[in-house]
Structure 1
Amino acid sequence: MTRKRTVAAAVTAVSALALALAGCSSDGGGTPTGEPVEGGTFTQILNADPGNLDPQMSAGSALFDVSVFAYDTLVAVDAEGKPQSQLASDWTQDGLTATLTLNDGILCSDGTEFTAQTAADNLNWISDPANQSAFLGAFFPVGVTTVAEGNTITLTLSAPAPFLLLGLANLPMVCDAGLADRSTLAAASNGTGPYVLTEAVPNDHYTFELREEYAWGPDGATVDETGIPAVVNIRIVADGTTATNLMLSGEGNAAQLLGPDAERALGADLFALESSAVVGEQWYNHAEGHPTSDPAVRMALTQALDLDELANVITTGKGGPASALATVDPRGCTFDSVSDVLPDFDVDAANAALDAAGWKLGADGVRVKDGTPLSIVFLYQNGLGAAGTAAAELAIAAWEQIGVDVDGREQDEPSILDAIFSTGAWDVSWVPVSVNSPDQLIGFLSGIVPPEGVNFSGIQNSDYEAAIAEAMQLPGTEGCPTWQEAESALIEAADMVPFAEGTVYMFGSGAEFEWTGQIAPTSIRMLG
C-alpha cells in the first residue's frame, strides 16, 4: 500500500482539492509481460505540472504524484484500510492522545537522521495556521500539539479524530534542513523517500535517482529488489493524445488516461489498473461580492444543469452520478449522501428562483439586479481532456439559457488552485476533491477561509456543522450515518454539487507497479 489522494484535480488537498482521482486499483487491462531487470529508467507521464515542490504546502494531485518518490509518511495504509508501518513502527490511539514510535536508522537524502523530534516539528508546523498548510483541517486535525521523547512522538488532540491514522498516511514528512529553510523545497527534495530529486525543469520533467540505502518503506519494503528502477523520470505532457502515443511507443512506462485516450490504450492491451473516483464536483464561491454568495443563484445554477447528462459526458459513458464526497478506497464510511437530496434538473424552477431573488432578465438576455449583471467566472481543469471540455460547454450553454453571463476558463491545475486559494477570482469551479474519510473534508466544507484555512468556497452551513460535531464524538464507522447526514445537508442546499463518478485508468508499459491514487515507488519493477 501507499497513500490515498486525489489525481485529477484535487483542490490541494484538494485535491486539498486536488484535490485527484484515486481509489483501490484492480486489473482493468492487459497483464504485464517480461522478467524484472536491473536498473533502468521508469518514465511516468503527468498531465499537469506540480508547481512549487514543497510537499506540505499544497495537496494538488500532481504534487502528490511527484513527492511520493522523495517523501515518506509516518504510517501507510493497506488496501483494506489497515495501518502499516512506514516511518513509524508502532502506534496507539486512546481518546485524545495518540502515540507513535519511529523506526531506527531512518536517514534523510542529505545523510542526516530523521528523528522523533523531526516528526514532531513537521506536525507542529502543519498545525500552525500561520503556515497555511493545505493539510491542516483536511488530513490533519486542527488544534493538535505534538511532543517528542526518545524515539516516540505523542499527539494531543483538541477534539476526537476517528480517522486520524488515515489522515497521517497522507502527510509527507520533511527533513530538518527543509523545515529550517522551506524555500529550498520549491525546486529540490529533502525527505526520507526512496528517491532524491536531481533535476527539476518545470512544465517539462523531474528526474529522481534511487537511494540504495532505503529500507523503511511501507510494511518494511526496501529497494533491494530486482527490477527497482535506478532513475525515475516524470514528464509533463498536457495533451492526452501525445501521452497515449508515448505509452504505445514504449517511451512512457506509466500514465493516467481518460476517455478516448484510455480506449486506445485498452485496445492496445496495455497493463492497466482501474479505480472509481469523483470526476465531477461543482463548487461555488460563497464570499461576499460574488453572485454565488446568493443561495438563490447557487440553487438556480444547480437546477439549470442536467447533471445526469453532464456525468455521462464527463465520464465518456463509463461512469454515473456521484454517491458521496469521500470515495477513495479504503473508505472510512460507505454510504450514498447524494441521490436522495440532490436538487432536481428543473429549468423553470431555476428561472423562478432567480426572478424571486430580484435577478431580472434584460433585453440582451442577461439578468440584472440593482444594476449589476449576473456574470460568473467558471473555472474547469484541462486535465479532464475533451470530455471535460465538452461537459463544461454544456454547463455554460445551460446557464446562458437562464440569463447568466458566463466567462468559462479552461486552466491547468496550478492556475485553478491559485485562483481558489489565493486570488479568489472565480465564482464556480470544477475541482474534484478525493479523500478517504468524511472528516478529511471538514476544513474544505466549513471553518476558516484562505489564506489561513482551506475552506476555499467559504461554505457556512449550520446543519453540516452540527452533524459533524456529533459525528466526531463517535468512534470509527459508528459515526457514518451522522457523516452521511452532514454531507446531505450541504448537497440539499446546493452549497456544493458532486455530480459524477467514473472509472479512471492507470496504464503501464514495460513495467509493473501498484497504484492507489499514486504509484507506490517500492512496487515498481522494470520488465524486459
Structure 2
Amino acid sequence: MRFATKTKLLSGTALITLGFLSTAALAQEASIAFASGELGATSYNPVTSSNLNSATSLIYDRLVEQDADQSYHPHLATSWEEAADGMSWTFKLKDGVTFHDGTAFNAQSVADWIPDFAETENAYLVGAVASVEVIDDLTVKFVMSRPEPNLLYNLASSFMGVPGAAAYDSMGEDFGVTGAVGTGPFKLESFSIGLETVLVRNDDYAWASDLSENQGAAHLERVTFREIPDQSTAFLELKTGGIDVLLGVPTDFLQILKAESNVTVIQMPGTGINYMPINVTAAPFDDIKVREATGLAINQEAIVASIYNGVGAPAHNFLIASLPEAEVDPSLNVSHDLDRANALLEDAGWVMGDDGVRIKDGAPLSVKLFTQNGTEFTSLTQVVQAQLADIGMQAEITVFDSSTIRDEYKNNRHQLAVRGYDWNNSDILDWFFSGERLGYPNVSMWKDEEGQRLNDVAMKDSKNSAERIANFKAYHEYVLSQHLFVPIYQPTTNIAYNSERVNVPDPVRGTRFRSQTVLDMTVVE
C-alpha cells in the first residue's frame, strides 16, 4: 500500500523513468540451456549425485580450481603444501567466506564435509584421506592413508563443491532437491527436475578465484538454466531469443550459427569422448570376437567428416588425446577394418544371410542399439547403425531420455548404446569399468579379476604422477584388449550466445563453462 500511495505522487516523467529502471533491473538476468550430456540431474547434492551439471558450480565453490591448461588455482583454499612422502596435505583457507545461510566457512567446515563422502558413489574422490585435522580456524590438514597424486584434480571437480554442514545435516535426503546451501556466487531459488533450475545472485559474494576478473558479486541477478532435450529446439530458442546461451552446441549446427549476425560461437578444447559401450553379459557380445568385430565396423574418420564437418577428431581409445595415458600401444587402438571384422564374425560362426544379415544357429545377428535423445546423438547413432549393417549386424535403435536410459542400463536391458562422457582425467576408466559399478556407470557390465586389480593399482598404489600415468596406461591397455566399447569421436566443446543480449568472456577460463565465466558475464546495455 505504501508503494501504491507513493506512486500516485510521482510525475509522468518520473513514472516513465521508473519504468525504464524496472525494465533494466529485470534485464540483469540470463537464460542458459544445458548441454545434452548434462540433462537429467535429479539433485544438486555434490556429495551423493552421480550426474551434475554446470549450475552446480554456481551454487558451490571448491577448494581448488583447474584452468584450461590443467594448472591449479586457489579458491576457498589460498595455498596448499604436500608432504614429501605424500602422506599429508595442508591447506590454508580464505578468510571471511560465508555460506548462503550465513554460517561461516572455516577449517571445521572442511572437517565436517569430507566424512560425508563415505559409502557414496563419489567416495573414491577422498578415498585416500584417512582423517582431517583442524589446525586452526583457517588451516586444515588431510592425513592420507596413501599418497594421492590426483588429489588436486579431485578437489577441483564439481563433485567437490563444499556444502554448508548445518543445512546438509538438517535437510538430509532433501538437500540438493528442495534446497542447497553452498558458498557460491548464486543461491538456488527453485529446481524443477527435468525442466529448469533458477539461481539468484549471492549479494555477499566476495571471494572469487583468479579465473574471474570480477572478484565480487555477479553482474547478473538471476540465471535460469533450462533442460531442452531436443537440440534443434534449443538451437531455435537461441536464434529467436528464448535463451541467451546454449552450452554443448552440436557440431552440425556450428556453420549455421556462425552465419547468424546476433550469435557468437566460442570453441573450447574437448574434455570427453563419444563412444559405444558393449554389454559383455548380453549375447552375442559375450563372445570377444563379436565385440572386436563390432569395433572394427565403425569408421571414425568417415563419421568426423560426414556428421561433424571435420570439427573435432576421431577417437581410437577411451581417453582424450591430451592425456599421456592415451598414448597406448598402437596395436590396441580401435580403427575401421571391414575385412578383419567380417573374418572374425565368420570365425565366430556367424554366416552372412541372403538378406545381408548374418545368421547363427538359425537366429539373426539382430541387436538393440540404445541412444539418448538429442539431434547429435540420434544422427550419430543412425550412422553407427548403417556401419554395423556393413558387417551383417542388424541394429534396432531405441531413443530414451537421459534419466530413463540409465534405468535401462541398471536393469541390464541393453546390448549396445551410443553415448558420451565429459571428463579430462584418466580415472574415468575407474568410473566406467570398475566391477563395483555394474549397470551404471559401468554400462559394459564388465567384472574381471585382472581388470579390477589393475584398476585398484592405478587408483590406490600410485605414489607420484609418473607412477600414476604408468599404472593407468597399463589399465587402459588391458581394457582395450577386452573390446568393451567402441571409441568414436572426440568433440570440441562449443558454446553459443546471443551477442545482442549478453557478453560472455572469450576465452572461457577453466576446463568447462562454470561459475568463473558466469561471474564475468554481463547483459548488453
The structure 2 residue matched to 1:525, chosen from 512, 522, 525, is 522
| 8 Å CA contact 2:206, 2:217 repeated in 1 | no
Q: Find the structure with the greater CA-based Rg.
A: 2
Residue in 1 aligned with 2:370? Answer: 379
Partner in structure 2 of residue 29 of structure 1: none
Partner of 2:6: none
Work out which of the residue numbers 233, 253, 276 in structure 2 matches 1:282: 276
Aligned to 1:163: 150
Residue identity over aligned pairs, in percent, reads: 22
1:255 equivalent in alignment to 2:221:
no
Deviations 1:162-185 (A, max 9, x none): 222012100222222224503232
| CA 1:467–1:45: 2 relative to 1, 3 Å | closer
Residue type at the aligned position of 1:434: D
How far is 1:208 from its partner?
0.7
Matched, 1:435 2:423: yes
Q: How does 1:13-52 map onto structure 2 within 5 Å?
A: 40-48=28-36, 49-52=39-42
1:512 partnered with 2:504: yes
Amino acid at match of 2:393: V
For 1:431, the aligned partner's letter is R
**Pairwise CA distance, 1:318:** 1.5
What does 1:65-464 correspond to in 2, within 5 Å?
65-94=54-83, 95-126=86-117, 128-129=118-119, 131=120, 133=121, 135-137=122-124, 140=125, 142-149=127-134, 150-151=136-137, 152-170=139-157, 171-176=160-165, 177-180=167-170, 181-219=172-210, 228-256=219-247, 257-269=249-261, 270-277=263-270, 278-286=272-280, 288-322=281-315, 325-327=318-320, 333=324, 336-337=327-328, 340-359=331-350, 374-383=365-374, 385=375, 387-420=376-409, 422-450=410-438, 454-459=441-446, 460=448, 462=450
| Root mean square deviation, CA, Å | 3.4
CA distance, structure 1, for counterparts of residue 421 and residue 205 of structure 2: 32
Partner SS, residue 424 of structure 1: coil
How far apart, in 2, do the equivalents of 1:155 and 1:290 lie? 47
CA offset digits 1:57-105 (Å, max 9, x no partner):
3443xx3212111111121123332322222222222313223233233
Structure ranking higher in helix proportion: 2
Alpha-carbon spacing, 1:435–1:197, altered in 2? closer, same or farther (3 Å)? same
- Compute the TM-score of the two structures, normalised by the length of structure 2: 0.79
The residue type equivalent to 1:523 in the other structure is D
Structure 1 residues 52, 203: CA separation in 2 closer, same or farther (over 3 Å shift)?
closer
Deviation at 1:255, TM superposition (A): 0.8
1:478-517 CA distance string (max 9 Å, x none): 6545544442342344223322123331122222233532
Deviation at 1:434, TM superposition (A): 2.6
Distance 1:470 1:197 in 2: 37
Structure 1: 5+ residue runs without aligned partners? 1-36
Q: Is the 8 A contact 1:449 1:457 kept in 2?
A: no
The answer on whether the counterparts of 2:429 and 2:476 sit within 8 Å (CA) in structure 1 is no
Partner SS for 1:448: helix
Deviation at 1:324, TM superposition (A): 5.6
Unaligned runs of 5+ in 2: 1-23
Q: CA deviation at 1:222?
A: 9.0
For residues 219 and 33 of structure 2, what CA distance do their matches in structure 1 show?
18
Cα distance change on mapping 1:188 and 1:294 into 2, 3 Å? farther
Of residues 156-165 and 66-75 in structure 1, the stretch that sits farther from structure 2 once superposed is 156-165
> Which string of whole-angstrom CA distances, capped at 9 and with x for unpartnered residues, describes residues 380-432 of structure 1?
2333x2x4323311222333444434332223333333433x32322222222
- C-alpha distance 74-419 of structure 1, shift in aligned 2 (>3 A): farther
The answer (yes or no) to whether the contact 2:274–2:421 under 8 Å persists in 1 is no
Any conservation in 2 of the 1:42–1:253 contact (CA below 8 Å)?
yes
Instruction: Indicate if the aligned counterparts of 1:446 and 1:461 stay in contact, CA closer than 8 A.
Output: no
Q: In 2, Cα distance between the equivalents of 1:224 and 1:319?
A: 34
* CA–CA distance in structure 2, aligned partners of residues 388 and 98 of structure 1: 42
Change (3 A) 1:318 1:280: same
Greater relative contact order: 1 or 2 (C-alpha under 8 angstroms, separation 6 or more)? 1
CA-to-partner distance for each residue in 1:343-380, whole Å, 9 max, x for gaps?
Answer: 44333433332343345667876656678765433222
Preserved contact between residue 323 and residue 336 of structure 1 (Cα < 8 Å): no
| Conserved? CA contact 1:195–1:209, under 8 Å | yes
Question: Relative to 1, partners in 2 of residues 1:403 and 1:332: Cα closer, same or farther, differing over 3 Å?
Answer: closer
Instruction: Supply the AA of the counterpart residue of 2:320.
Output: T
